[in-house]
Chains A and B, each alone.
Chain A
Amino acid sequence: MAQELRRILIVDDDNGVRDSMQKWLEMDGYEVVGAQDAATALGLLEREAFDLALVDIRMPGMDGVELQRRIRQVDHDLPVVIVTAYASIETAVEVLKRGAMDYLTKPVDPDDLSRLVRRALQRDAGAESAASGRPGEVARAAGELLAGQTREIARARDLIAEAARTDQPVLITGERGTGRHLAAAAIHGASRRRFFDLVPFDCRGLDEASFERLLLAPACSGPGKSRFQLADGGTLLLEAVDALPPGLQGTLLQLLESKTAHPPGARQPLVSDFRAIAISEIPLRALVETGGLSEALYYRLAVLVIELPPLRAIASDVPLIAQALLERIRAEDTTLPALEGFAAGALERLASHDWPGNVAELANVVRRAAAAAAPPLITDVAIEVRPGGE
């Protein structure tokens, strides 16, 4: 009978929304308490324990984002889901950066709501998307990727938003460290598939046996499903697709087209409704021309193509991205000094480097500087860049 009794707090000034959510979730077997404003919610949280809070972003007085911040002070581990009337990818990234577990856009599909609530209440962290690479956490970090103002980053940002709105396959290309995984997680995290898993599958070093074992066979640990099955409803992230051996490209193409697999020994075919996002270090079109990738697979993957620029090509964005990184690093580690930003000399130092390791290298440099610098600003003394990168 139903799930074990869990308590959900709904904070919304709209009686209709609050009451309808309460009635709906009670039928799922949850105990639901409503609060019409942030002050009432905080009062309840001081006296009672909850397993999940659903918080409307727009309320008179204290809004949902501020309430979420206060909730983290009262009960740091309480999952908070922000409810918005309209969510852009920027809104999504913003609320995730501030610590929300996820967000919902009103009106929400009932299936998505049930999925999200179940996921939020899963106590077994191991069971929660063992293969998913913590999509919420990763999507949070995508904020830095989107912080730039250059035409290249604006273009990437638009394409990520477009990809999140559609259900088409996506190909993301870029050098190592440019944030390809973050872009994939941002797309998944803002798409309607976000309540299901983002399942990575590394295409490097595979032969026929390992391809079947790693993609189609149930995992030894976890819920006993294969990656192919875990991706059902969600996103299959094909990492390093440029490294997939030619002999397996036809097999992958068939899986992408039919969404059906016939694992050896299985009595019935497996069906999985997933969206494919592929990641490549090199432009796949060039690989097709040299015969390293079948044209059919290329056209199947490259429906929406996002090219992430190397950091050296968007040098004017380095200060903005560095500032965004600093803010996230400080938010994650409250023991760090209260640094506000970078002094002019530090920014000059950052601008003079060519960043072969891209955003990943910049993040490393900012993290070390944040630990070493004295408030209020990071000076050039704390910036340690190494010729040739990390």
Chain B
Amino acid sequence: MASDLLGIYLVPLGGAFGARRAELLEPLGRRLAQTLGCAVEVTTCELDLALSHERGRDQHNALVLLEQLAALPLDPAARRLGLCEADLFIPMLTHVFGLAQLRGPAAIVSSHRLAPDPGSTLRTAGPAPKDLVLLRERLEKESLHELGHTFGLVHCTGPECVMHSATDVLEVDLRAAHFCRRCRAHLPSR
């Protein structure tokens, strides 16, 4: 990747999305590149998901995954966005759709609770085409949201801004896949 300040690596974790990977990540990469005006690249770096797995909850600790993502030997100027199917949590909360290091290099988004059929595995039982479109939209919004945090943005009160807080998939669907003018002004210039 060129040493572009806004470069983004997409890092699929734990064999995420299986045979559907290209169908999901290629359009996602194009949309992120378009919205953020930067180069986006899918890497083959892998993380050990077992390190973040908590047996008692059968979920993965998003904070552990963020640390692992931040430590990957990639261009230090670029953001790295982990994408997984695992159900994510942080110790205080029941679940998170994604998480980011505020003004840091790493972010992560999970499809687990975004899929129209929550918890279904995308690798063995592919979703119907319309479900795939919906999932792609949700992944795009959540990816933009978490990447926004890595650029220092906090939650926005504008209900349609992608930085508006969403703790429910319906709220994710209500948000647009773009930043409002005020939030956009805080993004690094292209």
A residues near B (Cβ < 8 Å) are: 1-3, 14, 16-17, 19-21, 23-24, 26-29, 83, 106-111, 113-114
When C-beta atoms are compared, the residue in chain B nearest to A10 turns out to be B92
Interface residues on chain B, size class: 20 to 34
**CB of B63 within 8 Å of the partner chain:** yes
The reply to whether B93 and A110 contact each other, CB–CB distance below 8 Å, is yes
A107 and B57 CA atoms in complex are apart in Å by 10
A20 and B100 CA atoms in complex are apart in Å by 11
CB distance from B173 to the nearest CB of A (A): 15
CB distance from B167 to the nearest CB of A (A): 4
Partner of A26, one of B63, B96, B154: B154
When C-beta atoms are compared, the residue in chain A nearest to B145 turns out to be A27
The reply to whether A114 and B167 contact each other, CB–CB distance below 8 Å, is yes
The reply to whether A2 and B63 contact each other, CB–CB distance below 8 Å, is no
B residues near A (Cβ < 8 Å) are: 57, 63, 89-96, 99-102, 149, 153-157, 165, 167-168, 182-183, 186
User: With A27-B100, A28-B165 as given contacts, are A16 and B91 in contact (CB-CB < 8 Å)?
Assistant: yes
The reply to whether B92 and A108 contact each other, CB–CB distance below 8 Å, is yes
- 13 A-B residue pairings within 8 Å (CB atoms): A1-B183, A2-B156, A2-B157, A17-B92, A20-B90, A26-B102, A27-B100, A27-B165, A28-B154, A106-B92, A107-B91, A108-B92, A110-B95
Nearest first, the 9 A-B pairs at minimum CB distance are: A20-B90, A29-B154, A111-B167, A16-B91, A110-B167, A2-B154, A17-B91, A107-B94, A20-B91
When C-beta atoms are compared, the residue in chain A nearest to B66 turns out to be A23
When C-beta atoms are compared, the residue in chain A nearest to B96 turns out to be A110
The reply to whether A16 and B167 contact each other, CB–CB distance below 8 Å, is no
The reply to whether A110 and B155 contact each other, CB–CB distance below 8 Å, is no
When C-beta atoms are compared, the residue in chain A nearest to B171 turns out to be A111
The reply to whether B102 and A109 contact each other, CB–CB distance below 8 Å, is no
A111 and B167 CA atoms in complex are apart in Å by 5
The reply to whether A16 and B63 contact each other, CB–CB distance below 8 Å, is yes
User: With A26-B154, A28-B165 as given contacts, are A20 and B93 in contact (CB-CB < 8 Å)?
Assistant: yes
A29 and B102 CA atoms in complex are apart in Å by 11
When C-beta atoms are compared, the residue in chain B nearest to A16 turns out to be B91
The reply to whether A14 and B91 contact each other, CB–CB distance below 8 Å, is yes
A27 and B145 CA atoms in complex are apart in Å by 11
Contacting residues, chain A, for B99 (C-beta < 8 A): 23
A114 and B93 CA atoms in complex are apart in Å by 11
Instruction: Tell me what chain B mostly uses at the interface: helix, strand, loop, or mixed.
Output: loop
Contacting residues, chain A, for B168 (C-beta < 8 A): 111
Partner of A109, one of B94, B155, B186: B94
A27 and B149 CA atoms in complex are apart in Å by 7
A108 and B95 CA atoms in complex are apart in Å by 9
CB distance from B141 to the nearest CB of A (A): 15
Contacting residues, chain B, for A26 (C-beta < 8 A): 102, 154
Contacting residues, chain B, for A108 (C-beta < 8 A): 92-94
Contacting residues, chain A, for B186 (C-beta < 8 A): 1
Partner of A1, one of B57, B91, B93, B157: B157
The reply to whether A109 and B154 contact each other, CB–CB distance below 8 Å, is no
CB distance from B187 to the nearest CB of A (A): 12
CB distance from B105 to the nearest CB of A (A): 15
CB distance from A53 to the nearest CB of B (A): 15
When C-beta atoms are compared, the residue in chain A nearest to B90 turns out to be A20
A83 and B167 CA atoms in complex are apart in Å by 20
Contacting residues, chain A, for B149 (C-beta < 8 A): 27
CB distance from A114 to the nearest CB of B (A): 6
Contacting residues, chain B, for A23 (C-beta < 8 A): 63, 90, 99, 101-102
The reply to whether A27 and B155 contact each other, CB–CB distance below 8 Å, is yes
The reply to whether B156 and A1 contact each other, CB–CB distance below 8 Å, is yes
The reply to whether A20 and B156 contact each other, CB–CB distance below 8 Å, is no
A110 and B102 CA atoms in complex are apart in Å by 18
The reply to whether A24 and B155 contact each other, CB–CB distance below 8 Å, is no
The reply to whether A29 and B91 contact each other, CB–CB distance below 8 Å, is no
Contacting residues, chain B, for A28 (C-beta < 8 A): 154-155, 165
The reply to whether A113 and B93 contact each other, CB–CB distance below 8 Å, is yes
A44 and B89 CA atoms in complex are apart in Å by 29
When C-beta atoms are compared, the residue in chain B nearest to A19 turns out to be B63
Contacting residues, chain A, for B93 (C-beta < 8 A): 20, 24, 107-110, 113
| Sample of 4 more A-B contacts, CB < 8 Å, known A23-B99, A23-B102 | A16-B91, A20-B91, A26-B154, A107-B93
CB distance from B46 to the nearest CB of A (A): 25
Contacting residues, chain B, for A114 (C-beta < 8 A): 165, 167
When C-beta atoms are compared, the residue in chain B nearest to A29 turns out to be B154
When C-beta atoms are compared, the residue in chain B nearest to A113 turns out to be B93
CB distance from A284 to the nearest CB of B (A): 35
A119 and B76 CA atoms in complex are apart in Å by 40
Contacting residues, chain A, for B95 (C-beta < 8 A): 109-110
A219 and B143 CA atoms in complex are apart in Å by 40
Contacting residues, chain A, for B57 (C-beta < 8 A): 107
A109 and B156 CA atoms in complex are apart in Å by 20
CB distance from A150 to the nearest CB of B (A): 38
When C-beta atoms are compared, the residue in chain A nearest to B91 turns out to be A16
When C-beta atoms are compared, the residue in chain B nearest to A21 turns out to be B92
Contacting residues, chain A, for B89 (C-beta < 8 A): 107
A28 and B163 CA atoms in complex are apart in Å by 10
Contacting residues, chain A, for B101 (C-beta < 8 A): 23
Contacting residues, chain A, for B63 (C-beta < 8 A): 16, 19-20, 23
